[in-house]
Structure formats: C-alpha cells, structure tokens
Homo-oligomer: A and B are copies of this chain.
C-alpha cells in the first residue's frame, strides 16, 4: 500500500472503550425501571427512541440521555417517578465523565505510523464530549488533525482525505463500524480496515463488504503497520 499517505482513525471503540460505558448506563437504566418493564423490552424501546431521535439530536451522549428519559416516560405510561428521571440525568452526566481508556497497542501503533503517514481522527458525536475524550486520551499529540463530524458519509471522507492528504485514493480509514467507517470510506474511494469490536451499537451494523479489493479486516490495531508493509 505504498500509495497510502493518510490514515483516518475512528475514535470510539477503535482507539478507546466507549460502547461498554453506554451498556453499563443502559443496565443502570433497566434497574431504575425494573418495576415497570423487562430489560429486553426496555432495550428495544430505547433503541427505537434513539433511531427516531437521531434525526433531531444527531449522535452523542446528550441525545442518548434525552432518549432514555423519553423511553422511561413511555414504558411507564407516564408514571415514571421524578426520582427516576433525576437518576437518568445523573447517569447521563456520569457517562459524560467516564474515564478514557485506550486499547492495548494504540499508542505504539500510532507512534510507529506517525513518521510515514498523516494521521487523522475522524469521529462523530457531541463536539464537546469528543474533544474532552481526545484531551483525556493521552494520544492527541500523535495526530495531525482531528475532525469531529455530525455524520460519516462518503463525502465526509472525500473532503477530509482531500484536506489532509492527496484524496481518498491515497487514504485508508480504520474503524469498528461497518456502516460509518468502512462502507462510506470505500464508497469515497479510500481503503478501509475493519477492526471488529465485540460491542457495537445496533445502529452501526451493516454487512461486511467481503471481496472488495480495498477492504481489509484485522483483529487489533497493532496489525495495521504490518498490513501497510505487506500489501504493496
């Protein structure tokens, strides 16, 4: 892959743990409403609310908190006690403060790649929260650029890879979301490296583009430098 000059990295669940914090918050949410609904039913209703609300709220923790409150009122037929709503607000704020824990090998991999490639974080979600996490990650100095976007479409990648590098044909996107990282980057003309994560938000699922000549799949981020060396 000698043609690659620029590498984009998704952040949540590619560089650091994220979904696990949402799942813990969802468990807390289910506990709070245990008298009113089963956990599976709650999860389903919450996901419906998130799917509906992403059009209004975009991605991120604040919209997730608002969707939890809406779901709590719905599943209790308007009987959710105020203390439950307060607890949901507190859980949302807690989520906004969660510690940032990078995956093993992330810093070393970025340091290995840095001399030879332009490295860019490309992430969606709440602007304020993503900036907080990047600052807390301890790896922000390893990136040439940070792009926090409202959504990840093929023209998002085309724009960013043209801005930081020589366009999508000379760029590679690394991420855990087939829907947001892999497919739109391929559509833009870039290479894509899929690193599956055991926890992935239902709204990020999509089919693997198996057989696509610019699609690769690895188990950990530490395999990326080797992939770049051996795929000439």
Which A residues fall within an 8 A CB radius of B?
56-60, 62-63, 65-66, 69-70, 73, 76, 78-83, 85-86, 89, 92-93, 96-97, 126-129, 131, 148-150
Beyond A148-B127, A150-B127, whether A73 also contacts B85 by CB under 8 A is: yes
Task: For residue A159, give the distance in angstroms from its CB to the closest CB of chain B.
Answer: 12
Given contact pairs A58-B126, A73-B82, A73-B89, a sample of 17 additional A-B residue pairs in the complex whose CB atoms are under 8 Å apart: A56-B96, A56-B97, A58-B127, A58-B128, A59-B128, A62-B63, A65-B66, A66-B66, A66-B92, A70-B89, A73-B86, A76-B82, A78-B86, A80-B82, A126-B126, A127-B148, A127-B149
Q: Can you list 14 A-B pairs with a CB-CB distance of less than 8 A? A: A56-B96, A57-B62, A58-B129, A62-B62, A66-B66, A66-B89, A73-B85, A73-B86, A78-B83, A78-B86, A126-B126, A127-B148, A127-B150, A128-B150
> Which residues of B lie under 8 Å from residue A56 when comparing CB positions?
93, 96-97
> Which residues of B lie under 8 Å from residue A89 when comparing CB positions?
66, 69-70, 73
Task: For residue A201, give the distance in angstroms from its CB to the closest CB of chain B.
Answer: 17
> Which residues of B lie under 8 Å from residue A78 when comparing CB positions?
81-83, 86
> Which residues of B lie under 8 Å from residue A86 when comparing CB positions?
70, 73, 78
Which A-B residue pairs are the 10 nearest by beta carbons? A58-B128, A62-B62, A78-B82, A128-B150, A127-B127, A127-B150, A73-B82, A56-B96, A56-B93, A131-B150
Task: For residue A147, give the distance in angstroms from its CB to the closest CB of chain B.
Answer: 11
Contact assessment for B85 and A69 in the assembled complex, using a CB-CB cutoff below 8 Å: yes
Residue of B nearest to A88 (CB): B69
> Which residues of B lie under 8 Å from residue A73 when comparing CB positions?
82, 85-86, 89
> Which residues of B lie under 8 Å from residue A66 when comparing CB positions?
62, 65-66, 89, 92
Instruction: Determine which residue in A56, A63, A149 has the highest number of CB atoms from chain B within 10 A of its CB, and name it.
Output: A56
Contact assessment for B128 and A57 in the assembled complex, using a CB-CB cutoff below 8 Å: yes
